[in-house]
Amino acid sequence: MTAKKSYEPKRLLITGGAGFIGANFVHYWLKTYPGNRVVVLDALTYAGNIENLSSAKSNPDFRFVHGNILDYELMARLLREEKIDTIVHFAAESHVDRSITGPDAFIETNVKGTHELLKAAKTVWLDENPGMPHLFQHVSTDEVYGTLKENDPPFREDTPYAPNSPYAASKASSDFFVRSYQETYGLNTNISNCSNNYGPYQFPEKLIPLVITNILESKALPIYGDGKQIRDWLYVDDHARGIDLIIRKGRTGEPYNIGGINEWANIDIVKLICELVDKRIKEDPALQKQYPDAPVCQGNVAIDLIRHIKDRPGHDRRYAIDPSKSNKEINYQPEEIFETGIAKTVDWYLTNENWWRSIMSGEYQNWIKQQYTEND
Ligand code: NAD
Ligand code: DAU
């Protein structure tokens, strides 16, 4: 058994830091560890938004670099120039539906991009600076484990990988490359496998923000198949805290699961959001003025917008995480209660109309139109 770490990162490279979880992680880190250097590298794909980091821009410890993890030379230069000791690797193509219609980008970024980053880390940390304390923290997903039946025990770290979507296969592949760099070259790594996140800055193609924003525009709420698929929802700040604990206290080379102990069927979560949005708008005249198309403003209820549509191909039925290893070894447990987390999230989208309207244009609108045409 490898020894427990007591590692204090000082200079971090955060890939994908302009995306949903990455941006929340950057805010968490700057607040929790003032004085640490935080360099964000992001290609600003459709899912990345520099505005997600606007409050960090004035912090002298923060730097944003627009670039691609496929660019080995840039990665190596940044590691040298910024004397980075810790990479927290979020950058990825992350949406399962997109991986079904276009898997190539997932192989490029998630597999090849992760490998370019690993190569740069090996060059700078092992070949040029042997003995330098370092850590490659790879952010992965519970989807690599495949699907569970209703009464199966939740995923553990030793559950065999059985990815079902091209997205999950690409993440599984990247996990294996990370593992291989640990085993073959001695690169210090950790992998976190986390369940479904929710919270501010999530791109409204994912279930929770899609449902909130569609209600505000009185658009249909698409439920794939019977809607009884189950996900284990975790507030995004709890994911950030879990990664922090793994970085500082986890055993080098070990995978750790992070989950919410919070299983919900999709249809139930959508109904809950419908009730929450109706209630918030009903009690606030300013919101009624802001969102005149919302069902409650038209004398209707949001729940009537629900439409069951064709199921996602290869749709995993149930995910659930057993977080007991993380709990025992690094003292991880989720802190946010789902009822307060989801209410905060609904409020964030109600308050940040400009944010979601501005990103739901152009390329995204074309993609979503194509989705619905195919699914109808
Ligand atoms: P996201 O799609 O919101 O953000 C991804 C970010 O990566 C974007 O800012 C994008 O611009 C950037 N990016 C994409 N390709 C890049 C490239 N080639 N080079 C540099 N930057 C690139 O994703 P997210 O939901 O925040 O997920 C972040 C990570 O966490 C992913 O690795 C994902 O697999 C993992 N994860 C997500 C969840 C979830 O519920 N969202 C759960 C578990 C694990
Ligand atoms: O489990 C972790 C994973 O969670 C992450 O690795 C992924 O990056 C992240 O996107 C998420 O994957 P899911 O496929 O579970 O998330 P999504 O929000 O796309 O869908 C959640 C569930 O809701 C899923 O069962 C599909 C269903 N769904 C989704 C959408 C977008 C619908 O029924 N209708 C929809 O319109």
CA–CA dist 173, 107 (Å, integer): 9
Q: Is 332 marked active-site?
A: no
| pLDDT of 375 higher than 50 | no
Task: Give the model confidence (pLDDT) of 203-252 as tens digits.
Answer: 999 999 999 999 999 999 999 999 999 999 999 999 999 999 999 999 99
Q: Is 142 marked active-site?
A: yes
Q: Mean pLDDT throughout 19-47?
A: 98
- Whether 39 and 10 have beta carbons less than 8 Å apart is answered as no
Encoded tokens for 108? 């490029």
Residue 203 belongs to a domain = no
pLDDT of residue 3: 67
pLDDT of residue 245: 98
Distance 230 CA to ligand 2 centre (A): 10
Find the domain containing 321 and state its range.
Answer: 11-196+236-259+316-335+363-371
Active-site option among 7, 167, 256, 332: 167
pLDDT of residue 376: 42
Residue 295 belongs to a domain = no
Encoded tokens for 3? 């020894």
Task: Give the model confidence (pLDDT) of 181-215 as tens digits.
Answer: 999 999 999 999 999 999 999 999 999 999 999 99
Phi, psi of 65 (to 5 degrees): -125, 125
**Which residues, in sequence order, are bridge partners of residue 1?**
none
pTM above 0.75, yes or no: yes
Q: Mean pLDDT throughout 280-303?
A: 98
Query: Cα 321 vs. chain centroid, distance in angstroms?
Result: 15
Nearest 10 degrees: Cα torsion 54, 55, 56, 59? 120
Query: Cα 334 vs. chain centroid, distance in angstroms?
Result: 16
CA–CA dist 360, 135 (Å, integer): 36
Residue 1 belongs to a domain = no
Residue 279 belongs to a domain = no
pLDDT of residue 361: 76
pLDDT of residue 367: 61
The number of the ligand 1 atom at minimal distance from the alpha carbon of 42 is 21
Task: Give the model confidence (pLDDT) of 99-110 as tens digits.
Answer: 999 999 999 999
List Cβ neighbours of 128 (8 Å cut-off, separation of 6 or more): 80
Instruction: Label residue 368 by pLDDT band (50, 70, 90).
Output: low
Residues with CB under 6 A from ligand 1: 15-16, 18-22, 42-45, 47-48, 68-70, 90-92, 94, 109, 113, 139, 141, 171, 194, 196-197, 203
Residue 207 belongs to a domain = no
Q: What sign results for the dihedral spanned by CA atoms 316, 322, 327, 333?
A: positive
Q: Is 143 marked active-site?
A: yes
CATH number for the domain harbouring residue 36: 3.40.50.720
Residue 345 belongs to a domain = no
The number of the ligand 2 atom at minimal distance from the alpha carbon of 96 is 14
Residues with CB under 6 A from ligand 2: 94-96, 141-143, 195-196, 206-207, 210, 222-224, 229, 231, 266, 312, 319
| pLDDT of 4 higher than 70 | no
**Which residues, in sequence order, are bridge partners of residue 359?**
none
Residue 140 belongs to a domain = yes
Active-site option among 85, 97, 116, 142: 142
User: Which amino acid, 7?
Assistant: Y
User: Which amino acid, 271?
Assistant: K
The mean pLDDT value of the chain amounts to 95
Distance 18 CA to ligand 1 centre (A): 9
pLDDT of residue 372: 53
In the chain, the number of structural domains is: 1
366 or 327, which is more confident? 327
Active-site option among 143, 237, 238, 263: 143
| pLDDT of 364 higher than 80 | no
Q: Mean pLDDT throughout 305-320?
A: 98
Residue 73 belongs to a domain = yes
CB pairs under 8 A, 24+ apart, for 326-330?
A: 326/242, 326/245, 326/246, 326/256, 326/257, 326/258, 329/4, 329/249, 329/250, 329/251, 329/254, 329/256, 330/245, 330/246, 330/249, 330/250, 330/256
HSE-up of residue 202 (Cα within 13 Å, Cβ side): 26
